[in-house]
Amino acid sequence: MTAMDEVEKELVHTRQIICRGYRRKDGLWQIEASVADEKGQAVPFHSRPTIKAGELIHHLSLCVVIDDDYQIHDARAQTLTAPWADCGGVDDEYRKLIGLRIGPGFARAVREALGGPLGCTHLTDLLGQVGNTYMQASWPDRAARQRLASADPRQWPDARTLSFIGECHAWRQDGPVIAGEYPQLVDAGKPARA
């Protein structure tokens, strides 16, 4: 038993993030993400009624349509539940994501377009999950296209397909996963083209 298990505790907040990735018939990817914050205790305010235990303080969604080249074609934010009437006033601002490309410089572009009072902290935070879900949803198709170009991942036209190599313990360059999945890359490093 650890110290975490030894102390009595009370549930005061539950955050649920749900992300779904869809392959569309038009060749694009649709990522739908939502965040819901449920209070486990009453939260009093001065200028609005108390949020009771079991009620949602936030329920927000973000739908983003992305192509195979990581470019955003459409974006829609929706504030379903929020503590303040003003919160949903920035939903339409998330259309500024259209035309941006997920990858280097994306976080900076998002901060410039939606940072601080220009956006919603919770919706903007969801964008990281949208990007991760897009990568997870589209990766099998992306890898299959690369394998058609070459059996050797060092020759793949889109090196971003393997951009996760070296980004976590399991996918470390000298680990057994690389040796089993992409033995050509054990000594070669990531593919040269980016």
The residue extents of the domains of the chain are: 3-149, 151-194
Average pLDDT, the chain: 92
pTM listed for this prediction: 0.88
pLDDT above 60: residue 154:
yes
Token duo for residue 35: 């965040």
- Tokens 């009771």 appear where? 52
Range in 21-35, 135-149, 177-191 the model is least confident about:
177-191
Q: What's the pLDDT at 159?
A: 83
pLDDT above 50: residue 192:
no
Residue 42 corresponds to which amino acid?
A: A
% of the chain residues with pLDDT over 70: 95
pLDDT above 80: residue 66:
yes
Pick the residue with more confidence: 103 or 119? Answer: 119
Query: Taking residues 180-188, what's their average pLDDT?
Result: 84
Q: What's the pLDDT at 188?
A: 56
- Tokens 């058609």 appear where? 148
pLDDT above 80: residue 2:
no
- Provide the pLDDT confidence category of residue 121 given band limits of 50, 70 and 90: very high
pLDDT above 60: residue 189:
no
| CA nearest neighbour of 56 among 37, 34, 84 | 37
- Tokens 């939260």 appear where? 43
Q: What's the pLDDT at 1?
A: 59
pLDDT above 60: residue 193:
no
Residue 148 corresponds to which amino acid?
A: L
The top-scoring range by mean pLDDT among 12-16, 139-143, 171-175 is 12-16
